[in-house]
Amino acid sequence: MSVWTDPELVARRDLLLQILRGYGRLAVAYSGGVDSAVVAKAAQVALGDATIAVTAVSESLASGELEEATELAKKIGIAHRVIRTEEFADPNYLRNNSDRCYFCKSELYGRLESLKNALGVETIASGANMDDQGDHRPGMKAAAEHGVRHPLQEAGLTKDHVRQLAKAWDLPTWDKPATPCLSSRIAYGEDVTPEKVRMVDAAEGWLRRQGLKLLRVRYHKGDLARIEVPIDDLARLADPEVRKALIPAFRELGFKFVTLDLEGFRSGSLNTLIPLEGLMKPAPIAGSKPVATKA
């Protein structure tokens, strides 16, 4: 029996496919998360061999993400290419003000734009959905500057719609939690370094090995780790036996202090620091691209 029995779901799928067919030959900025996976799947259905998924690799990519993205691309049946980005060579990115994502996405989309001829594509597409129009999204300005299209937004699809499509297409990531880059765990104003993102990556890996799925380890000044997990998991991490193992494990990674956030997990919690950081933000380094304060 076909899973495409919901008329509204079918209509959303068909609109997305129609939009993608209008793009011509297409490169999808593909992380392997649910949003970019749905775009990649829809592009493969709509365009066949006229599309390619491109995954960017740098120090900010969490362990295991590239391998998962590669396997998923094979399942989807889309051509897949991996490129290296060098946002860690940009002092504006390393300075980690609230516009950090602008410089990251400028690096990514700039490289994709320069590869259009080599990739044989006319258009670059992202996985941004309707829910990404709110909050603080400097990366959307970078996308606009490079002519990147957002098919999920053009089709009016929210995160819930995307997950519904992913499930109907039997994509294993349909219920995968969001996995933003590791640099997003570093508190604004604290320099981003390969060492810090490696500490965060290893700490989150340790927690996942304990069976936790939805979590963040935030890095704050003084090598302080602030752990966010859903409210229902707080008691589990506060258990004496777990604490006895967790604290030395985190200290071995380089954290001097380990804290548990009693408000629980919440996406984008570091954005609460933006107003203060914005007031103290210095001018861009000479020769850099303009600073974006809104997404």
Render each residue's pLDDT in the chain as its tens digit; 295 residues: 467 999 999 999 999 999 999 999 999 999 999 999 999 999 999 999 999 999 999 999 999 999 999 999 999 999 999 999 999 999 999 999 999 999 999 999 999 999 999 999 999 999 999 998 866 678 999 999 999 999 999 999 999 999 999 999 999 999 998 889 999 999 999 999 999 999 999 999 999 999 999 999 999 999 999 999 999 999 999 999 999 999 999 999 999 999 999 999 987 656 555 544 443 444 343 344 443 333 3
At 283 the three-state DSSP class reads: coil
Spatial distance between the Cα atoms of 163 and 101, rounded to a whole number of angstroms: 24
Spatial distance between the Cα atoms of 97 and 280, rounded to a whole number of angstroms: 9
**What burial class does residue 212 get, using C-beta atoms within 10 Å of its C-beta: 0-12 exposed, 13-18 middle, 19+ buried?**
middle
Extract the tokens encoding 139. Answer: 């990366």
Q: What confidence score (pLDDT) does residue 289 get?
A: 41
Domains and CATH numbers, the chain: 7-168 (3.40.50.620), 182-266 (3.30.1340)
Q: What confidence score (pLDDT) does residue 286 get?
A: 35
Spatial distance between the Cα atoms of 178 and 112, rounded to a whole number of angstroms: 23
pLDDT in tens, 55-78: 999 999 999 999 999 999 999 999
pLDDT in tens, 163-195: 999 999 999 999 998 889 999 999 999 999 999
Spatial distance between the Cα atoms of 148 and 254, rounded to a whole number of angstroms: 39
Q: What DSSP designation does 227 have? A: E
Spatial distance between the Cα atoms of 295 and 177, rounded to a whole number of angstroms: 22
At 135 the three-state DSSP class reads: coil
Residue 145: partners with Cβ closer than 8 Å, 6 or more residues away: 106, 109, 289
Spatial distance between the Cα atoms of 78 and 199, rounded to a whole number of angstroms: 33
Residue 242 CA from chain centroid, whole number: 29
Q: What is the pTM of this model?
A: 0.88
